[in-house]
Structure 1
Amino acid sequence: MTELKTITIIKPDDWHVHVRDGKILEKVIKYTAQFYKRAIIMPNLEDPITNCVKSLAYRNRILNSIKFNSTFQPLMTCYLTPFTTSKELEYGFYKKIFVAAKLYLKSSTTNSENGIKNINDINHILQCMEDISMPLLIHGEDNDKNIDIYDRESEFIKNILEPLRKKFSKLKIILEHITTKDAVEYVKKHDEQYLSATITPHHLMLNRNDMFLKGIQPHLYCLPILKKRTHQQALRQAVSNGDKHFFLGSDTAPHLNKNKIHCFGRPGIFNAPSSLLCYITVFEELNALKHFQAFCSENGPNFYNMPINTETVTLVKKPFKILNKINIGKKKIIPFLSGKTLHWSMKT
């Protein structure tokens, strides 16, 4: 059999992206804009995106940071707080300022201190979102300090997500960056019209052993944390089967190196320079390239009721060396798999 040398697919979208702000935004946005037509922008800045005015301003900063001719579209989300109003959400959704709202449980991950302590406090918001078919994006971890960090996702499904879905059965929910067999099985059991999930390249490529290989690997620390191999295999099987419940969401999350190697290192993996190439590497390993376009370019838009892109991208079987670092003045960001070589490149 002749080895596949190129593959052309509909231009993908990334349904989970952190681009931060200021100098970091100016340096990292080009990597997402290079590979993807659209991207869901996470709202958890230090000053979170909690209303329409902030969202429009942030969107403009993102677009102004792209220094080359691009048709990239940032898709903005609203950070839910105890003070979010149904009126703000409804206006933002109908005016296409927001495409979705993001639920962070308080203190569950980076810049989530303004999040929700008790989900029942926002039942009126969730009712509004169900009524207008506005998607809810969820960082699905129960961060009760008595729950083992490796069990936070499965406990969230049992303790929070299942009761939530019983109350709001028609609420469109994306369970983001899933990491466990439990999440795969739960999502597959439900109608993909109302419940879907994103999967990151790093959770497909790695498991928790990798995080402790030859000592602690701070650049592989993320939330949800890498899980054991059986969970990684469940994620790989989910994408290799072409299930419509699952689609691309890289959760690329840049942090300055000094904050990653700090004694209280921050969670987040910056994979934007290579995310699409990592995904195709996994799909090739799984002999599942026939499902690659659906995962990258079709399942996400179908869930969000958005048009599928008309542009295409071509990936070539050609070595691609991932850059070692990105300089931010005198500081730096270390990308995922820095310095390593992948076997696929993007045709320019």
Structure 2
Amino acid sequence: MAMTGEEKGGNGASNSCCGQARAKPLVMPLISDMHTHLRQDEMAEFVTPMIKKGGCRCVLVMPNTIPPVTTCAQAAAYRERLVRIDPNVDYMMTLFLSPEVSADDLRQNAKMCHVTGIKSYPKGVTTNSDQGVESYEQYYGIFEAMQELGLTLHLHGEVPGVAPLDAEEAFIPFFEQIHSRFPSLKIVLEHVSTAAAIQAVKRMPANVGATITPHHLMLTVDDVVKPDAIKRAMETAAHRGLCCAEAVEKPHNFCKPLAKTKRDRDALRQVIQDGDTHFFLGSDSAPHPRLAKESSPPAAGVFTQPLLLAYLVSIFAELGCISKLREFADGHAAAFFGFEAATLEENLECAVIQPTPQRVPSIFKFPGQENEGVVPFMASLELPYTVEVRRFSPSLLKECDEI
């Protein structure tokens, strides 16, 4: 990550990421996060109120709870629980692709239950994916129904058993095969992290897209894994050892898919600078208790929800493409999924972005617990921008530049 004069912080990130902040405040509509984990029970109660604080109006909720969400009725019940926590967010729901998913259920209930799509997890590759997919052919009937209904297939694009630096690229033929077999099916390749995946998505028509996370725009494998472990692993054909417990040096930067090389990160950055409409925001914000992240092996996931827009503004400003942020963080997804793009309207909430540095908290503490909570991305480091959610009025345009 680029430097701002801050060296390593509490989460082991190499620096804070961004150059000097702009002198004038910015204003923009709230954003849409097309990939987030809100968990369940006490964790859901803890993180769901942070959605709006992070500048979001709309989230696509992942289904890998325990047990996973596999029916429209379960999705509706999950959504009701989230609405009770914060009714001012639009929750788009997904099902977990498994034998329990029914085409008849989708046809009869998906729309009324706010089910937007189905998430595919290869078996065992990430958190709560033990019931994941081993073969896609058995789900062709489900894909036919999804294509008919306009539902979206969300793919975690890694091949189990393949070394972490290669697992995403190895998945691309499966991704292309599904599109070839179901050319009208809306497909999202989630949290792309490689130049190869970027190129594969760019070759696709408009009904195929991909999400990009803030942390994959900032991290490389060097920010996660011990340098000597990388060197040893790269000396073997299979790159073995990159995700073993002793190899992860900075667990709060550890996620699936693993951050890749500088070349891969540069490809992600270039595509957002280009404003390619295939690509849109999906934070993959994935909260885990601090002890789970700092255990051996560490839980996979980076927590970005409460500061999501602040991370994004900092990245886009550093890359000199702040004018592309609004479309990446809302407009492209709105066009892909078919909802209305956010606008600045009087008395509706908006995000005011101040060029005021802020220190990322070292931890978001659980209520009543002094030392336990969730450690955010870039903990204890400095961001050059602060985001405030407030009601829009035309007078804001006199003091702020609109994105």
Please give the range of the TM-score, normalised by the shorter of the 2 chains.
over 0.9
CA offsets 1:149-201 (integer angstroms, 9 cap, x no match): 1111111012x111111100111001110000001111111112x11111000
Whichever residue aligns with residue 104 of structure 2, its letter is K
Match of 1:57 in 2: 77
Structure 1 position 314 matched with structure 2 position 352: yes
Distance 2:268 2:376 in 1: 23
Distance 1:212 1:81 in 2: 32
Which entry has the higher C-alpha Rg, 1 or 2?
2
Structure 1 position 164 matched with structure 2 position 178: yes
Equivalent positions of 1:126-275 (< 5 A) are 126-143=143-160, 145=161, 147-158=162-173, 160-192=174-206, 194-212=207-225, 216-275=249-308
The percent identity for this pair of structures is 29
Matched residue count: 340
Unaligned runs of 5+ in 2: 1-20, 228-247, 390-403
CA offsets 1:184-225 (integer angstroms, 9 cap, x no match): 111111112x11111000000111111136980011110000
> TM-score, length-normalised on structure 1?
0.94
Distance 1:103 1:58 in 2: 19
Name the Cα RMSD after superposition.
1.6
CA offsets 1:272-326 (integer angstroms, 9 cap, x no match): 1222111111111111011111101200011001111234322111112211112
- Alpha-carbon distance, 1:111 to partner: 0.6
Match of 1:8 in 2: 27
- Alpha-carbon distance, 1:3 to partner: 4.2
Equivalent positions of 1:76-95 (< 5 A) are 76-95=93-112
Distance 1:309 1:90 in 2: 29
Structure 1 position 302 matched with structure 2 position 315: no
User: Any conservation in 2 of the 1:82–1:115 contact (CA below 8 Å)?
Assistant: no
Match of 1:44 in 2: 64
- Alpha-carbon distance, 1:340 to partner: 1.3
Equivalent positions of 1:49-128 (< 5 A) are 49-66=69-86, 71-128=88-145
Match of 1:25 in 2: 44
User: Any conservation in 1 of the 2:72–2:110 contact (CA below 8 Å)?
Assistant: no
SS in 2 for 1:113: coil
SS in 2 for 1:40: strand
User: Any conservation in 2 of the 1:177–1:224 contact (CA below 8 Å)?
Assistant: yes
Match of 2:380 in 1: 339
Unaligned runs of 5+ in 1: none
After TM superposition, the structure 1 stretch with the greater mean CA deviation from structure 2, 49-58 or 234-243, is: 49-58
